Amino acid sequence: MARTLALFDLDNTLLSDDSDYLWGRCLADAGLVDGPAYETENARYYAQYKAGELDIHEFLAFALRPLRELPIERLLALREQFVAQWIAPRVAPGAPALIERHRRAGHLPVIITATNRFVTGPIAGLLGVPVLIATEPEHAGGGFTGRALDPPCFRDGKVACLQRWQRRYGYERAVLHFYTDSHNDLPLLECADVPCVVDADPQLAALAAARGWPHISLRAAAAAC
């Protein structure tokens, strides 16, 4: 019997907000970055993402710069506060039950996200998801370089990162369920055996209706495709 992966996008899917954008706001609120200027850039990149116009390499140069420039001890302490105060209240109400439903069916839950591992690692832990495939910040000399390893886990890169993980862990023939809110995830949706859109953005909602893909909400009770 083929093994099954239950793949979940994170931002605006399992969460009711975007962790990458919120992390930027948290840095600004903590006074670790130039608040008004950083907030303006953060909002600009988020708007580009929603419009499908984001240059992921340009964004990562912006988003990963604090990991290079700020003391790691301060970042780790802030991240703990961030997960407790900014993320835990934004877990979509139906998300834990949906993850558990797949787990009980014998499927392996996996979060697959463009947001970098430094931000999302403890969020996967909060959600009890054992596998995280994310954009990987580069390390060198005992710290972060401010760059990401290729490929970023975004659009076609999300498919490439998943396939690399499948080859490494022997899941090449696995059945794929995939849940996401974003039209940016169309490449992976088209690879999934069971695509399902979740609280979808307008572009993806229209595409899902045209293709007959299920469309559920996790903002209230859980559902499954």
Residues classed as catalytic: 9, 11
Residue 10 contacts residue 18 (beta carbons within 8 Å): no
Q: Count Cβ atoms below 10 Å from residue 154 Cβ, excluding itself.
A: 23
**To which H or E segment does residue 106 belong?**
none
- Indicate the DSSP class of residue 15: B
Q: Which residues contact 58 (CB under 8 A, 6 or more apart)?
A: none
Alpha carbon distance 113, 132 (integer Å): 8
Residue 221: both structure tokens together: 């009770």
